[in-house]
Structure 1
């Protein structure tokens, strides 16, 4: 039974790493619900019941590994925008600390309800994302790159707007144990006209940096189960590399189509739990 439990956690880590790296979302949308569910089966002191705080803290630690692994892979593909990534982190890093601190005030019932509603909203956003038109915002920094269709495109950002948005996303990342990329990537594409591949790769850099601040905060608060984290990390490291490789080979929309409906199912389950 113990071996089966460990293998399940490794598979969850593999799936979260692969999916997170493939579409730039970090993987917390898979890890947190899985930990909350698997934590119900307290089979040993090492694999005890999981509170929302422990689920979030452990998730952020695993997301740190996913972000590091996938960032290395994307650096080799030369699709990471360092300057934009660091600018986003200036907002999301402190936001992740605030979110981690706020998480301590949520009960299990409150966390499940709020996280479920959040997941449902994200699923809906992912469904309509392709139908939303980019918003025109005056940009203070402009860059050029090869777009998704092979043409040269211009993208950029307005610093105050980017800092406010990234800080807000950082709070949600620290609060719910997600990487934040599930919001970061659409924002980068719709508001700042980032090419999709650059948005995904840069998002993973930001996720890695923000997960450092968020996981350290949860570590200080004692919200990390190291046994769960160790099993998840084994799968997540290799999953992230596979996801980054597939990002260059597959259309992420096929994966997202399945993921959207899974999110809806999980979100509804958490809200009525």
Structure 2
């Protein structure tokens, strides 16, 4: 068995992002395997999911111990996600393993990453609007923590089912897609509870998909071992930091990486990819400054007067 320390180091960095934000497992790990380590897409999906089945419980245990998990939501999400994740593996397997299927999985990955990146941008904007309404007295400030969540069973099950299907086929979505849907359904959840809830619901979801890929996918033990060795300590470290560090900057960086990975997975040429990413680096901050100014905030967030604010505000904007 060949162990790749470079791959383990990359997995360590991705694990930190997963533990810190609840996002970026399949959305970063699978593209890294495909783009930088030359792993076939189906093999990357299979090995990433099996590694995630070991990685996710580490971060979720930290959040369970700290009480930052909405357990009723986990139950309803899993009712939808666990069977659909396994079904997604069967669908991917039924499509075959030839070049056309591998290409199709790459395209599906690219589209899923673009959706995830767009969701992150939408989340940042809605958080800014919420802060403006609180400041102007049009919205009551949310308390630091809301342990009692009014569960919406049917929408929650549907989110789990759709997310599980996407995860089973592409390995993307257990964090980046589902957590965005949770933000829309349950805006009262603080950032740390969103991350903790998402990490815990992803444990049975990813385990179901991982079992399917072990049985029917293209799982490789040496590849998965390197991922686990790097990702597990990274996830533990990220989860330890998640209740202390603001997630806004990390989510912006994650959105940039998601876009870059998506463009390459969609076979956009290097020159065009470079132009798009450079333009995003130069133009996006200016647009964000204008949006902040329009809603009455200082263009540069670090120049704002420091006031005690609810955690969900500091983490999302």
**Equivalent residue number for residue 30 of structure 1:** 28
Matched, 1:124 2:124: no
SS in 1 for 2:149: strand
The aligned length equals: 248
SS in 1 for 2:144: coil
**Equivalent residue number for residue 59 of structure 2:** 70
Pair 39,130 (structure 1): closer, same or farther in 2 beyond 3 Å? closer
1:60: Cα distance to partner? Answer: 0.6
1:39: Cα distance to partner? Answer: 4.4
**Equivalent residue number for residue 69 of structure 2:** 80
Q: 2:248 aligns with which of 253, 267, 272?
A: 253
- Work out the CA distance in 2 between the residues paired with 1:152 and 1:56: 36
1:82: Cα distance to partner? Answer: 2.2
Give the strand-richer structure, 1 or 2: 1
- Work out the CA distance in 1 between the residues paired with 2:183 and 2:22: 12
Q: Decide which structure has the larger Cα Rg and report it.
A: 2
**Equivalent residue number for residue 211 of structure 2:** 216
**Equivalent residue number for residue 157 of structure 2:** 163
Tell me, which stretches of 5 or more residues in structure 1 are unaligned?
41-49, 134-146
SS in 2 for 1:107: helix
CA offsets 1:159-212 (integer angstroms, 9 cap, x no match): 111111210011011111135221221222221232221111011011111111
Q: 1:196 aligns with which of 191, 195, 203?
A: 191
Tell me, which stretches of 5 or more residues in structure 2 are unaligned?
128-140, 269-317
- Work out the CA distance in 2 between the residues paired with 1:151 and 1:199: 11
Match runs of 1:99-138 below 5 Å? 99-104=88-93, 105=95, 107-132=101-126
Runs in 1 of length 4+ with deviation above 4 angstroms? 151-154
CA contact (8 A) 2:113 2:172 kept: no
208-217 or 95-104: bigger deviation: 95-104
- Work out the CA distance in 2 between the residues paired with 1:96 and 1:166: 9
1:95: Cα distance to partner? Answer: 1.3
CA contact (8 A) 1:85 1:202 kept: yes
- Work out the CA distance in 1 between the residues paired with 2:5 and 2:40: 21
- Work out the CA distance in 2 between the residues paired with 1:84 and 1:153: 12
Pair 229,153 (structure 1): closer, same or farther in 2 beyond 3 Å? closer
1:154: Cα distance to partner? Answer: 5.5
**Equivalent residue number for residue 185 of structure 1:** 179
- Work out the CA distance in 1 between the residues paired with 2:36 and 2:180: 31
1:151: Cα distance to partner? Answer: 5.7
Q: CA RMSD in A?
A: 2.1
CA contact (8 A) 1:26 1:63 kept: no
TM-score by length of 2: 0.73
TM-score by length of 1: 0.84
1:130: Cα distance to partner? Answer: 2.5
Q: 1:240 aligns with which of 214, 235, 239?
A: 235
- Work out the CA distance in 1 between the residues paired with 2:144 and 2:246: 15
CA contact (8 A) 1:189 1:195 kept: no
**Equivalent residue number for residue 18 of structure 1:** 16
**Equivalent residue number for residue 94 of structure 1:** 83
1:38: Cα distance to partner? Answer: 4.2
- Work out the CA distance in 1 between the residues paired with 2:104 and 2:217: 20
